[in-house]
Amino acid sequence: MANNLTDTPPVCDYEGSDYRTRFWENQGREYEDLTERIALQRLMPPTGDTLIEIGAGFGRLADEYRGYKRVVLFDYSRTLLREAQQILGDDPKFIYVAGDWYKMPFVDGLFDTLVQIRTIHHAADVPTLFQQLARIIRPKGNYVLEFANKQNLKAMLRYMLGKQKWSPYTHEPVEFVELNFDFHPKYIQEQLRHVEFEPEQILTTSHYRIGFLKRTIPTSFLVWLDSLVQFTGKWWQLTPSVFIHSLSPTSGKLSEPDQFFACPECATPLQTMSESVLHCSTCDLDWGCDKGLYDFKEPIPSKS
């Protein structure tokens, strides 16, 4: 579902979605969850100051970020973020932010670690997204990205047998369902380098994402097997899921200690007017916070 902003690309909206119960809880995806956690632990610095998960949803991976002082769970869906609040309780390190990833509501150079897992497949405009991420990351910051791999073995076999029209070998993204994209590993690396991110390490996951194997082989054993071969991503990427760790340039902006949120329309640092209102002095727009959820999807009516 597209957002209502005409000057940005469409955004997939999970507002009101039962994503947690329909896709994850008791849905036989323990193997995927555990292998992704292993890859994340291998690539993400275990401790740090400020981390953001882009497309955090209901906070499935939030317990992996306990080593950070501040953790932003960012998503377009208020509904999923409310679920995350209920699950995680009152831990003050978690900051819940709803907004459009093409208009990130944060000051330049704020985060030392970015994490994005199972969400970039909804990105209709990867270059614009990466430009925003390059703006909000600190110099020499870490970006851990997972993406749906266009050049996976299943797609290659289907293409060879004439069961799919699109080629898994070409670099351009393929939209197989509206606002659902698969990406070639070379395309992702090219786009990262365009914004001066330097890819450092690649891991492959979900090597055994086959229904028969998941039903007949103990999950713990499958996860162990997957963990052994994740490092083959250094040489080839043929799995449906690929992780890539990149570093931002050593030069760049570093946020001021007293700055955090910025206007999503003009990137001006926001002024705190009250516990529930943030104000942009440039656009003269107000942005709200309701019960611990900062909402930057649209401005609130001004009281002036």
Taking the CA atoms of the chain, what radius of gyration do you get in angstroms?
19
Residue 165: inside a domain:
yes
CA 17 to chain centre: 18
Residue 4: inside a domain:
no
**In this structure, what token pair is assigned to residue 70?**
């501040």
What is the chain's pLDDT, residue by residue, as a tens digit (304 residues)? Answer: 334 444 689 999 999 999 999 999 999 999 999 999 999 999 999 999 999 999 999 999 999 999 999 999 999 999 999 999 999 998 999 999 999 999 999 999 999 999 999 999 999 999 999 999 999 999 999 999 999 999 999 999 999 999 999 999 999 999 999 999 999 999 999 999 999 999 999 999 999 999 999 999 999 999 999 999 999 999 999 999 999 999 999 998 999 999 999 999 999 999 999 999 999 999 999 999 999 999 999 999 876 5
CB 227 within 8 A of CB 38: yes
User: In terms of residue numbers, what domain contains 177?
Assistant: 19-260
- Torsion sign, CA atoms 104, 109, 111, 113: positive
CB 94 within 8 A of CB 75: no
Question: CATH no. for residue 33?
Answer: 3.40.50.150
pLDDT of residue 75: 98
CB 134 within 8 A of CB 195: yes
Residue 274: inside a domain:
no
**In this structure, what token pair is assigned to residue 299?**
């401005």
Task: Report d(CA 233, CA 189) in Å as an integer.
Answer: 13
pLDDT of residue 6: 47
pLDDT of residue 272: 95
pLDDT of residue 8: 80
Q: Which residue bears the tokens 């994740």?
A: 230
CA 206 to chain centre: 18
Residue 286: inside a domain:
no
**In this structure, what token pair is assigned to residue 116?**
């994005």
pLDDT of residue 92: 95
Q: Which residue bears the tokens 């030069």?
A: 251
CA 61 to chain centre: 11
The pTM for the full model equals: 0.96
Count up the domains in the chain and report the number. 1
Task: Report d(CA 32, CA 73) in Å as an integer.
Answer: 21
pLDDT of residue 249: 96
Cα three-residue angle 232-240-42, rounded to 5 degrees: 45
Backbone angles phi, psi at 23, to 5 degrees: -110, -35
